[in-house]
Structure 1
Amino acid sequence: MERISSSIYLILEWITRFAYLNVLWILFTFTGGIILGFFPSTTAMFTIIRNWLRGESDAALLGTFWSSYKKEFWKSNKLGIFVAMLMVIIILDIWYLHFLPPVLSWFHIPLLVFILFSFLFLFYLFPAFVHFDLNVRSIIKHAFLIMLIHPLHTLMIIICLACLTLIMYALPSLAFLFAGSAFAFTTMWLCLHAFTGMNKKNSA
């Protein structure tokens, strides 16, 4: 009975942590005026989740979040400029595809490949940012290369995030409390496996 109570308490504790982290992510995004707040807030969320996955879960959540938010504010917004430019290019490509003939042709293929690879690359961007102590250009390069050499991890990320999206769609009340932290946890967990595998290969 004691073991069951301890397990229930642990589950409820982690549910509370994920909900609290998600609320912090939303609040600090708005604190930075959304545009300047989104990237440092997301970076702070991924930093905390990385710590959790590495067994470092004792630190105060708010203090760690705020510390990471301040530390990475300008660097993460430099990354944000790159992401914004990439998203503009993707939107222009989609707009261009809209005006092409509906039949698939060689005009479509390079644009579709670029759009697909861009979205897949974004999965690795924040995990690489918090995992590697590198400048923004090197982080972008690392994220892209890891995406290319780990197609299985990329596929697993797509499947897991698709399942989470369906759950959030079916239960929209969960989205406010868990959407950001759940998506970040799933992505960070799978990316850490990819990073670990890459480190082992480099060591060998």
Structure 2
Amino acid sequence: MEFRGLTGGIYRLTEWIMRLSGTNLLWVLCSAPFLFILYLRLAIDPQYVNEALTLNWALGILAPVTLFPATSALFTVVRKWVMGDPDVKIMRTFFRGYKENYKQSLVGGLFYTVLFVVMYVDITVYMVQFPNLQLFGILMLILMILLFVSLFNFFSMVAHYHMKIGGILKNAILLTLLRPFRVFSTLIGAIAILYIGWQMPVLYVICAVSVMAWFAFFNFYATFLKMQEQAKKREEAQNSDEESELIELGKEKKEK
């Protein structure tokens, strides 16, 4: 019995690793142009300023077109896992999510990319060229971190809701501000995964991004369920108050 249980556990673990690896590989393939330019940007010597600037522009152009749709598709798959459907067909679900959410991912990617570029330039200017205004640079850095954290909610909402892009962007940022504990626990988990991946880069290809997406959607879905429960309680309380008012009105009418 113990041997059979151990064998079953190993089989389930192997199955999950295969799922994570398969989804991660699809994400890498669909994000390949962005990832290739990112690799060149990280590898380039800092003295080649013009080349670095050109690569920065290429990253800004490729991110909304490739990275954002691929990540939305990744979240479409992990959403199924978190919601209790581990046997979902990975390739079909991934590319369906890629196709259905492409427009929203593209527009959202343009929005985030422009904001990141503006904030990056502001931080560089304030921190390097105007030392007396470094406080503004620090403030802008904090805003950039908040914007980055809201990306987890953005991708989760794109995968989970049928909502216009304006509503998704607004609610992704609001949820980041209103529910900071869950979101920043996701950030800490993401930093830990990135650090482990930095030590073993092969994990980025095998499973690191899929694990990060799963953890991010898990936290998002827990927040979603909690908010749904609170809304249900408020609705029940409101209905109870209305029933009490009707009872009181009934009493008053009877007395008259």
TM over 0.5: yes
Deviation at 1:160, TM superposition (A): 1.0
How far apart in 2 are the matches of 1:66 and 1:109?
A: 40
Bigger shift: residues 12-21 or 156-165: 156-165
Q: Specify the alignment match of 1:10 in structure 2.
A: 12
Deviation at 1:48, TM superposition (A): 0.6
Aligned length: 203
Indicate conservation of the 8 Å contact 1:18/1:181, yes or no: yes
What is the TM-score when the length of structure 2 is the normalising length? 0.73
Q: Secondary structure at the match of 2:148?
A: helix
Deviation at 1:27, TM superposition (A): 1.3
Which has more radius of gyration? Answer: 2
Indicate conservation of the 8 Å contact 1:146/1:194, yes or no: no
What is the TM-score when the length of structure 1 is the normalising length? 0.90
Residue 30 of structure 2 aligns to which amino acid in structure 1?
F
Bigger shift: residues 93-102 or 12-21: 93-102
Residue 8 of structure 1 aligns to which amino acid in structure 2?
I
Matched, 1:118 2:147: yes
Sequence identity (%): 27
Deviation at 1:155, TM superposition (A): 2.4
Indicate conservation of the 8 Å contact 2:149/2:184, yes or no: no
Indicate conservation of the 8 Å contact 1:47/1:130, yes or no: yes
- Higher normalized helix content (fraction of residues): 2
Structure 2 residue corresponding to 1:67, chosen from 81, 96, 99: 96
Q: Specify the alignment match of 2:130 in structure 1.
A: 100
How far apart in 2 are the matches of 1:40 and 1:119?
A: 16
Q: Specify the alignment match of 1:56 in structure 2.
A: 85
Q: Secondary structure at the match of 1:37?
A: helix
Matched, 1:77 2:106: yes
Indicate conservation of the 8 Å contact 2:126/2:133, yes or no: no
Q: Specify the alignment match of 1:136 in structure 2.
A: 165
Residue 24 of structure 1 aligns to which amino acid in structure 2?
L
Deviation at 1:34, TM superposition (A): 5.0
Indicate conservation of the 8 Å contact 1:39/1:77, yes or no: yes
**Structure 2, unaligned stretches of length 5 or more?**
35-60, 234-256
Q: Specify the alignment match of 1:27 in structure 2.
A: 29
Q: 1:95 to 1:31 in 2, by over 3 A?
A: closer
Q: Secondary structure at the match of 1:18?
A: helix
Q: Secondary structure at the match of 2:85?
A: coil
How far apart in 1 are the matches of 2:178 and 2:162?
A: 21
Supply the RMSD in Å over aligned alpha carbons. 2.1
How far apart in 1 are the matches of 2:149 and 2:174?
A: 11
Q: Which has the higher contact order (CA 8 A, sep 6+)?
A: 1
